[in-house]
Chain A
Amino acid sequence: MKYMLLMSTAPVDGVPPMHEWAPQDAMANGMHMMQIHQELTESGELLGAEALSGSEAAKIVTGDGLSAPVVTDGPFPEAKELLAGFWMIDVESEQRAIEIAARTSAAPGPGGRPWRKPIQVRPVMSRPDPEV
């Protein structure tokens, strides 16, 4: 089953934004993420993962299929709704997807304490069940 794990830019309660962390804390967080990435690659479960830029470099495009598209710098949703990055995984069960999301969420935050970053777990639409 394929799942997408989504991380938003929303601040975590009681945790400052990452650019205010001690460098070694930010480093430890990055290492933890890279470790997960490495393990999922080796287990054959990772389909892809990307981090996204902030809203500063983002555009919103609207088109009607006839005239030139309208391109604006916003408005963007609240920070809590803005996507920060995603992982595409293909795993045996929902339980496994939740396990990976939980490890990602528990990446070390300031002082090495678990970050508790909320991770959204979304099944990817796929084939229908065969009719029994």
Chain B
Amino acid sequence: MTERTAVEELLRELSPQILGVLVRRYRDFAGAEDAVQEALLAAATQWPAEGLPSDPRGWLIAVAVRRLTDKWRSDEARRRREELGAVREPAAPPEVSEKDDSLSLLFLCCHPALTPGSAIPLTLRAVGGLTTAEIACAFLVPEATMAQRISRAKQRIKSSDVPFRMPAPAEWAERLRSVLHVLYLIFNEGYAPSTGADVARSALSGEAIRLTRALHGGLPDDPEVSGLLALMLLTDARRPARTGPNRELVPLAEQERALWDQALIAEGVALISAALPRGAVGDYQLQAAIAAVHDEAATAEDTDWPQILALYGLLERMTGNPMVALNRAVAAAMVDGPAAGLALLAGMDGRLAGHHRIDAARAHLLEMAGDVNGAIAHFRAAAGRTTSLAERTYLATKAARLGAIGT
């Protein structure tokens, strides 16, 4: 993504607010989005030349509403409005704060009626203000494909008749969970060394952090929102050390810790330290706590593995996720020796059969135990099963290095 000017930054911040206002008033997601895009375009050309209006937000709303009503003057559009009006005539819009409009838009885009594959680009487009081309580039798909996906997502929201408002108390927990999950997935998409589109992809992590910060700004007392933001910051802090000079993966234990971003770590630790004592511990908080323990260790050897083992135990009980169980086995090996970890892994083949992660974990533990041939066999098996190029290179290289030592 290119550098943005001050006007572009302002427009990007205002765009979800304006869209939120129009969607709430007129219930026409696609029409509102087109109108907002036109208003933003008008602003982007007029403001730098003529200076900022005294009320940029009001200016944009006025222009967007005018564009939307202009569009409705055509016969077909008028018919659609009448149909929409008959079905769900909006009451006079209650005056809601700008913040709530942005948040409502986020909740709408991350609605559980959408698959993550639809909710992610819709959120990036409508709330993040990224262009379709930028999103397509980040996900390495053609722009037309991405445009189609976004348009279908909007269609789906329209046909599912989801009301545009903050969720009611009864559905609050589930809806917030969807929002956090989508933000988490956006972050993960960007947190990966990949060939070709590095810049666009790492921008996704930045975007996820920006959106989660905004959510945290609106819901400062929700401990899971704090937990997710902390998790992102504590993970992103390690990004500079995560890849080597040839874009190869560098595992946590071998990372150059001086490269870690201490400001992000401090912010993440402060967030998670404030969230945990509130009592409503959720899995994002636990993951953030684990990340914090790693980040606070000056060297890999200083890592407080007993604490990490305990946290993984809690996380496994809470989520029942087999990947968490696998990480707990590795932590157990660090605390009680490789035999303890291998024993835990032995009980997991059923749930993770054929997954490269279990081979990779077993290979590492066999290497710790000094079983070079066993380690090589499992590194190779893992390399054959992963669908990530960077991981395959890492795992194949591990196998080759051990082979060179063994002979």
Contact = CB atoms under 8 A, between A and B. Distances in A.
Contacts of A126: 194, 387-389
Contacts of A54: none
The A interface is mostly helix, strand or loop, or mixed, namely: loop
A130 B191 contact: yes
A99 B221 CA distance: 44
Given A43-B152, A44-B146, A128 B117 contact: no
Interface string B159-178: 00000000000000000000
Contacts of B141: 47, 90
B189 interface: yes
Interface string A15-45: 0000000000000000000000000011111
Interface of B is mostly: helix
Interface residues of A, number: 23
A91 B141 CA distance: 11
Contacts of A92: 115-117
Given A125-B387, A126-B194, A128-B388, A43 B235 contact: no
A4 to B, nearest CB: 12
B145 A127 contact: no
Contacts of A1: 387
A130 B324 CA distance: 12
A44 B136 CA distance: 11
A124 B139 CA distance: 13
Contact of B145 (A44, A124, A129, A131): A44
Interface of B: 115-117, 139-142, 144-150, 152, 188-189, 191-194, 201, 235, 249, 252, 287, 323-324, 327, 357, 386-392
9 contacts: A41-B148, A42-B148, A42-B152, A44-B148, A92-B116, A125-B387, A127-B390, A128-B390, A131-B252
